[in-house]
Structure 1
Amino acid sequence: MRRSDLGGLPAELNRFVGREDEIRELQGLLTRFRVVTVVGVGGVGKSRLALRTAAVTEKRYCDGARLVELASLRDAGLLEQALLDALGLTDHTRRPPREVLAGHLAGRRLLLVLDGFEHLVDACAELVRELLRRAPGLTVLAAGRCPLRLDGEAVVPLAPLPDDDAVRLFTDRAAAVLPGPRAAGGGPGAGAGPDGGAVRELCRRLDGIPLALELAAGRLPVLTVEQMLHRLDDRFRLLTGGTRGALPRHRTLRTAIGWSHELCTPRERLLWARLSVFAGPFDLEAVEYVCGGPELPADEVLDAVAGLVDRSVVLREETPAGVRHRMLDTVRAYGAEWLAALGDEERMRRRHRDWYMGLAAWCELEWFSPRQAEVAACAGSALPDLRAALELCLETPEEAHLAQHLAATLWFCWVGCGRLAEGRYWLDRVLALELGHEDARLRALWVLGYVAILQGDGTAAVAALYECGEGAARTGNALAAAYTTHRMGCLALLSDDMPRAEELLSRALTAYRELGELNSQVLMGQVELAMAKVFLGEPEAAVALCREVREVCEDRGERWTRAYALYVLAYSAWTRGAYGEARELLGECITIDHAFNDLVGLVLAVELLALVTAAEGDPAEAAVLQGAAAPMWAAVGVPLFGSRCFGAPRALCEQRAGEELGAERFRSYVAEGSALSLDAAVERALAGRPPLDGVPSPRRRSRSRSRPRPRPPRPR
């Protein structure tokens, strides 16, 4: 599991205005109810109120507060995964995600904020009900357009802002877009008078809905308050129809958004509609491809995006992947209605799907390059839209093979970026279909085999790889056959069958060379062969293989596979008593694995570092590091893959540190390590690394060089 020391709530980007009574009410309810739901029309401020309340209440909960944003999630089957992501958990096991969630929350006192769940209300209610039953310290604060309807739920309907608070909100936002004296009167020529009458009238006619007020404030650079009042007359009459019986506030919000829509240029309106196909953050290149066309030339997209940003329709944000833009869910939904009215929804969804299939292919190619970290960030940012692309592929049986191709192409996201559980979800779904596109199916099969192996699910791995091997032989697909052989060799390695692992991995590498295949997975096969050599008592051969991998990685800028090569080199250094060298190699290995959220590589490196630390004469720190690895194994899967060879460092560390500390002290230090968060465990592990300038760290000295050199166990 991935645990984080980072706070769970986003920082506020502008001033929170009003709602003091509502915050006090929610604080009181949270002391008496375990689930409290704020309901109301879109744009009324439910999300902001829930986050503000959570921020001022967070200290009541030992484990703080966490936000789960569900507005962009369309597949109820990924609801548990969304909660895992929000909680900072990574689980590579075959355990159902719900079991992982329940296990993590069982002993914690935590406030969970669920936002934008209404389109998944049934699935969300069922999950919340179960988690509340199994985690007595859990409290849920939800914000949506309808209640969860759970026993013991307190429901708080949220009304629009009262007049005074509405004016305060409008003038606060106006000051941000129109600084100086002009903002106080609502803009040039507002005619507001000393009492701000024009501003008050505008707020009244917008019914005090925060989203409408913020959109109105965003218009001040081009319109006075009086001009807005005149325009609202026409727009209200134009857009107040809706469905019979609809609440007036619903029509009012539509009016506010529709009025903002009317202020856009025709090209901005068209872009707004087309942007509604994006499920998550998007960049300019994606917009130019998906939304461009004869009516909106690609070279004019930038100006149209800038116009929508200026009008607060599109939001700009900094992300690990770079600058991205997004739309609020309510604004996106309005655009989707216009896109449907234009009859262009299907074409736009297909263009969107094609772009993200192309993006996935680019990411897979660039994974084997110096841009590997950028690829990881890009894939993470694009994940909501990649999911939407997969769903669209699965909607049409004739195109479902594209889903197999896309799910397989994203192997680097599932394996290299710590998303094994989600990868397994999609691969199982796409392979449940018999489509007659053999090459796409074979590729998805060996990726499934890879994922299942790392999850410790050997049965599923063998089934997938056996089918892949048969299909490769039947169709003459030499590349699929090579990957099948490779993955079977990997399975043998983790099963302690080193002679078979050596034979299969050598065969696969020969096939790769004959086919001209070279990428991160091919290099990983060479590292796996080196591991088999180590366990077979051939450390020199293993070192030669990994040095070659290291050189290729340095030449190509590849870091993910490099980390595994460093692990094998560190293992070899440990066997010959070169503890300082082993520590330096493992420090770099841990840094890389943590950056990619690769728990498989990380936990192996931390456990080997614990053994190195014990050999250096610090049994207490070794026990702490060994304890820190335990929660990582719980997330990775079967501890040590059930392997005696991979478990050797742990067993030897326990023996050595246990003898020096005694059983009771050893257990106490292990418990200390088990309580560390993932980030804290990594920081602890790296604390003994020498600085980058090569000056040795005074923290730890090697004190055990005179001891007999250990030897790894030979496979049975």
Structure 2
Amino acid sequence: PAPSAAPPAAELLALDAVRLFVDRARAAQHDWTLADDNAPAVAEVCRRLDGIPLALELAAARVRSVPVALLAQRLIDRFRLVATQDSTVPPRQRTLARLIDWSHDLLQPGEQRLFRRLSVFAGPFTLAAAEAVCADEALPLDDIAEHLAQLVDKSLLVLQRDGGRYRLLDTVRQHAATKLRDSGEAAVHRRHLAHALALAEAARVPLGGPQRASALAALDADYDNLMAAHAQGLQLGGGAGASVANANAVHDDDSARQALRLCFALREYWISRGLVGPGLAALQRTLAHARLQAADALRARALFDTGHLFNLSGAPAQARGVLQDSVAIMQRLGEHAREAAILQPLGLAHAQLGEADQALRCFERAVLLSRQGRHTRQLAAALLQCASWHRLHGSPATADAHYQEALALAESLGDDELAAAAWVNLAMLALLQDDVADARLALAAAVPRAARAGALLSVLWVLDVACVLAAERGDKVLARHWLELSESHYRRAGLQRDPADAAFLDRWRQPLTVGPATR
């Protein structure tokens, strides 16, 4: 309503903005009520704030300490004082910025310090994370919980009731980030990077075992924060556009290296969650960093991860190039165990490029080095690759022996993803030999393991075999359904089947894509 025409309280409640203000005011002070005597002030507040929900929440949070009439007057004075001269900024955006700035200025010094430091979190965060990242001599750890509660009460911070996490709304976070940049507190970004790295590395081992599902869920919850920390690490390390603290910041090699280690820790997560494209982009940005050009084990590992993701995204030529560079570094350093790991995706790149002999040499050397080094999981993975080569090239007995050994190793480790891969490959091998009964048994064993693993590729392998089994019993409708579902996931995740799996499916693909569907 216009300032000269504020209606009675009952009529004001018909307005969405007023109802929101009243609701948030009562949340701040349970006995607060809208009455005819304060209705004009409430109307003025809503008008001044253009009905913007976040702005109304911020203002309403103040009624516990400021009468609404005084609140309206302060808003008038404040907006007149900080009126922007930038006519390119939309009026509603100017209104919200002014109110956030005003709310910030009313905070206690410790609350202000925490508010700006929380801007390093791009997504929801826990109390423990806030304590680890934001506390220091100027902001004692014991004060963090109380300051968080105050920021929630003042609507500058949201507490998510379902998971007990906090988050800053994007608009508020941008404002807080500006405050942090102006403060020059670069140490906050370093602590955030260290915290993110510790979290991701703690999940890396569980990702390869029985606790895989819970590890994936933990990374899901913090993924936005992890990627924000990665970007901050590159900036702190002197990457392109570095400006995290200020233009005169001293950059450090350690931050760039921590950003790279964060990529290492997230590789399996990216694959499992169908984030190969974003993961590959992050690795390439990191590899291009000026402080990470030394031909050492760290760079070799980065090249290895990049090549692996190139393979999965259907870019074998690029994969072959970076993986050959990685192998060369490891051979020069005498790191044979790591060489064995790199040879597997290198062999796959050769296979995708039609270089069968080179592929087999890579797979067989990976098996040999893994046996010599007694690296059980790596040996199981190398055996799977070697077996699939033999399956593709018409040696089912050799393929079966390798699959069986890989399966035994995977089961001994409790590694559901590797075990699911072994069972699915055994199902494919059985189908290629027209043994439908054994294929069904193998798929039945693969399904629960794939479900527990929570890895996208495991699920896609299961769908491909389910498609062929449905086709074998003449159910074209169901077979097409499984095929279309699998294909859509491959496309959405930016993944490609390896040569052996693609050849397996091609045997049944044409009958499924032509002619009428029958059941």
* 2:155 is equivalent to residue 298 of structure 1: no
CA distance 1:507–1:531, change in 2 (3 Å): same
Alignment partner, residue 188 of structure 2: 348
Q: How many Å separate the matches in 1 of 2:329 and 2:419?
A: 32
Does 2:62 align with 1:219? yes
Match of 2:436 in 1: 577
CA distance in 2, matches of 1:208, 1:433: 46
Tell me the CA shift for residue 580 of structure 1: 3.7
CA separation in 2, counterparts of 1:410 and 1:195? Answer: 55
Deviation at 1:623, TM superposition (A): 4.0
Query: After the TM superposition, which residues 470-485 of structure 1 pair with which residues of structure 2 at under 5 Å, given as runs?
Result: 470-485=328-343
For the 8 Å contact 2:276–2:494, the answer to whether it is kept is: no
1:184 aligns with 2:33: yes
| Contact 1:416-1:560 at 8 Å conserved across structures | no
Q: State the identity %.
A: 30
Displacement of 1:269: 1.6
Counterpart Cα distance in 1 of 2:430 and 2:269: 31
| Aligned counterpart, 1:196 | 39
- Counterpart of 2:177 in structure 1: which amino acid? A
Q: CA deviation at 1:500?
A: 5.9
1:417 equivalenced with 2:279 (yes/no): no
- Aligned equivalents of 1:485 and 1:619: distance in 2? 39
Range 488-497 or range 333-342, more displaced = 488-497
**Aligned position for 1:545:** 405
- Cα pair 1:449 1:461 within 8 Å, conserved: yes
1:465 aligns with 2:323: yes
**1:173: how far off?**
3.3
User: Is the alpha carbon distance of 1:608 and 1:425 closer, same or farther for their aligned partners in structure 2, counting shifts above 3 Å?
Assistant: same
Among 394, 397, 421, the residue aligned to 1:564: 421
Q: Normalising by structure 2, report the TM-score.
A: 0.79
Judging by fraction of residues, say which structure has more strand.
1
Other-structure match for 1:38: none
Q: Which runs of 5+ in 2 are unaligned?
A: 1-11, 240-251
CA distance, structure 2, for counterparts of residue 394 and residue 414 of structure 1: 19
2:485 corresponds to 1:653: no
1:382 lines up with 2:228 in the alignment? no
Deviation, 1:470, is 1.3
- Pairing partner for 2:515 from 664, 672, 675: 664
Counterpart mapping for 1:61-210 below 5 A: 164-176=15-27, 178=29, 182-185=31-34, 192-193=35-36, 196-206=39-49, 208-210=51-53
Residues 543, 568 of structure 1: 8 Å contact kept: yes
2:306 to 448, 459, 473: 448
Partner in structure 1 of residue 4 of structure 2: none
CA separation of 1:316 and 1:553: change in aligned 2, threshold 3 A? farther
CA distance in 2 between partners of 1:260 and 1:589 (Å): 52
C-alpha separation in 2, matches of 1:620 and 1:250: 53
Separation in 1 of the partners of 2:425 and 2:135?
A: 50
Instruction: Measure the CA separation in 2 of the matches of 1:588 and 1:184.
Output: 57
Distance 2:325 2:183 in 1: 46
Q: Distance in 2 between matches of 1:333 and 1:648?
A: 50
Residues 367 and 591 of structure 1: CA distance in aligned 2, closer, same or farther (over 3 Å): closer
Structure 1 residue 387: Cα displacement: 2.9
Q: 1:338 to 1:423 in 2, by over 3 A?
A: closer
The residue identity in structure 1 corresponding to 2:284 is D
- The letter of the residue matching 2:130 is V
Whole-angstrom distance in 2 between the partners of 1:560 and 1:297: 44
User: What is the CA distance between 1:217 and its match in structure 2?
Assistant: 2.2
The residue number in structure 2 matching 1:625 is: 482
How has the CA–CA distance of structure 1 residues 656 and 348 changed in structure 2, closer, same or farther, with 3 Å as cutoff? closer
Q: Deviations over 1:17-42 (max 9, x none)?
A: xxxxxxxxxxxxxxxxxxxxxxxxxx
Which stretches in structure 1 are left out of the alignment for 5+ residues? 1-160, 186-191, 670-699, 701-716
- TM-superposed CA distance for 1:612, in Å, is 1.7
CA contact (8 A) 1:611 1:652 kept: no
On the 8 A contact 2:350/2:358 being kept in 1, the answer is: yes
Q: In 2 relative to 1, CA 570–284 (structure 1 residues): closer, same or farther, beyond 3 Å?
A: farther
Q: 1:504 aligns with which of 324, 341, 362?
A: 362
What residue number does 2:6 align with? none
Find 1:404's aligned residue among 250, 260, 264.
Answer: 260
What is the SS of the residue equivalent to 1:301? helix
C-alpha separation in 1, matches of 2:263 and 2:179: 31
Change (3 A) 1:295 1:467: same
Q: Which has the higher contact order (CA 8 A, sep 6+)?
A: 1
For normalisation by structure 1, the TM-score amounts to 0.59
